[in-house]
Amino acid sequence: MMMKLEIIEINNQIYTLKDINSKIYKIQFEFQDINLKLNKGDYINISEKLLDNKNEEYSNYYVFGTLNNKYGRREPTSDDLIYITTNSKIIKLKRLYG
């Protein structure tokens, strides 16, 4: 299941995000292959599993890139995808490994 998180602060690559219940998450994101500056008030839709510290794939540092990036899975699962909403534009990215 995807969670919609609002960006409330960006400090270098560390994003402070808030869900609809006002729960706060601090996650370091690295975005490759895109030339886009995210801003406060933009949204990141991410799998709940990647936010759950009991999940074996949990981290507080994630790297995402375009769907054709060779360092991601060829057939990404829904847990490997995020959707960024900025300026009425939705960008789909996949998780990169290695």
Q: What percent of the chain has pLDDT over 70?
A: 100
Is the model's pLDDT at 98 over the cut of 80? no
47, 32 Cβ separation under 8 angstroms: no
List pLDDT tens digits, range 16-42.
999 999 999 999 999 998 888 899 999
Q: Taking the complete model, does pTM exceed 0.85, yes or no?
A: yes
Give the per-residue pLDDT at 76. Answer: 92
CATH value at residue 31: 2.40.50
Instruction: Report how far residue 18's alpha carbon sits from residue 7's, in angstroms, rounded to the nearest whole number.
Output: 7
Total number of domains constituting the chain: 1
- Which domain, by its residues, includes 67? 2-95
12 exposure class (CB count in 10 Å sphere: 0-12, 13-18, 19+): exposed
